[in-house]
Amino acid sequence: MSDLRRSKVTIKDLARLCEVSIGTIDRAINNKPGISKNTRERVLEVAKQNGYKPDRVAQSLQSGKTYEIGVIVHDLNNRFFSLLVDTIQQIAWEHDYYIQLAISLRDTKREKEIIEHMLQRNVDGILLFATNTGADFYSYLRSIDKPIVLLSNRVQGPKGAEEIPFVGLNNCEVVNDALEEIVRRGYESICFVSPYFDYSYKHNFYEIDQRYRTFIRFMQEHSIEHRVFNTEKYCEEISAMELHGKTAFFCASDIFALEVLNLFHDLGKSVPQDVGIMGFDNIDVLKYVRPGLSTINYPVDELGKTAFKLLIDIMGGKPSRTEKILDAKIIWRESI
């Protein structure tokens, strides 16, 4: 190395150095036929000597492929998402793909901007944990000329229309099972705690909604006393409520369950003696929380891997089912 700072060396440089044409360089570098063993070795040697590295941007312009996939999630603050992205990055790496990461912050406008940006950057595909929903967004996604796989939050079109590829969870079944067991354990009153979902803002609450509906249906079918907390003031409201009968709090995510747990701790109530609490997701930090929180395991790893593989299949033009539903497992610990 003459200079410490290696300046970019291109196939043109190699051609000059080897005194052959760029076509020959190409054949050597990319292991193509139609070149003598001798020349190939010489070229490869010179390439190595000079630290030649192909320019992926130029390759992309030529081939239309970037080997990058866009990953869009709500945030990385939520443990669930960081584990998800971790998994996706890992499997992508194994397949020689790179990740362009962007955070939607649950902002519908921002999500659309991100998608547009990613398309301009010519990602080969997109893994989307959607924030938008509705017919317009469905049409928008369908209009996109790149493969997209939705994670967890489905986006539905008109009846009978082709579905957007989707990997999700069997929310209804697992919530039903959990509720049955909770009732069997003698709880007489069950509260549902979840983030605030206001359909008028057009946010995608697909998963929460599934859990919510299942909860309501179950309560009605079994005539069980129930209540729903899904406003921003749920903590105050829960503090203010009077408990009659053995009461359980079924939370739409572990984060809410932990908040409720903290709340009752502050109120001087014991869990599960005074109230039962159940979470959803099984985030890893539960390991450090006492009492052990009963929850429902979201197979994040499987979600990431399945979605990525589905995307790869679609990119490769493989005809595969474009919907996969994963199985959640209930984890009974101490809190209920």
Partner DNA sequence: GTGAAAGCGCTAACAG
Partner DNA sequence: CTGTTAGCGCTTTCAC
Question: For residues 290-319, which are near its own copies according to CB under 8 A?
Answer: 290
Other beta carbons within 10 angstroms of residue 244's beta carbon come to: 9
Q: Applying CB under 8 A, does 68 fall inside the site for its own copies?
A: yes
Task: Single out the residue of 11, 103, 178, 312 in contact with its own copies (rule: CB under 8 A).
Answer: 103
Select the binding partner of residue 262 from DNA, its own copies, none (C-beta < 5 to 8 A, by kind). Answer: its own copies
Least separation, in Å, of the C-beta of 149 and DNA?
25
CA proximity to 312, closest of 97, 60, 122, 99: 97
Task: Single out the residue of 12, 21, 49, 93 in contact with its own copies (rule: CB under 8 A).
Answer: 93
Q: Number of helices (H) and strands (E), helices first, in the chain?
A: 12, 12
Q: What is the separation of C-alpha 93 from the centre of its chain, rounded to a whole number of angstroms? A: 16
Question: How far apart (Å, rounded) are the C-alpha atoms in residues 69 and 98?
Answer: 6
H runs (alpha helix) in the chain: 11-18, 22-29, 37-49, 56-63, 79-94, 108-120, 135-143, 171-184, 206-221, 234-240, 254-266, 300-315
Question: For residues 9-68, which are near DNA according to CB under 7 A?
Answer: 10-12, 19-24, 26-27, 29-30, 34-36, 38-40, 54-55, 58-59, 61-63
CA proximity to 282, closest of 325, 253, 305: 253
Question: For residues 138-177, which are near its own copies according to CB under 8 A?
Answer: 139, 142-143, 145
Residue 218-247 contact track with its own copies, rule CB under 8 A, x = bound: ------------------------------
Q: Applying CB under 8 A, does 22 fall inside the site for its own copies?
A: no
Q: Applying CB under 8 A, does 120 fall inside the site for its own copies?
A: yes
CA proximity to 235, closest of 272, 200, 265, 273: 265
Q: Applying CB under 8 A, does 8 fall inside the site for its own copies?
A: yes
Least separation, in Å, of the C-beta of 138 and its own copies?
11
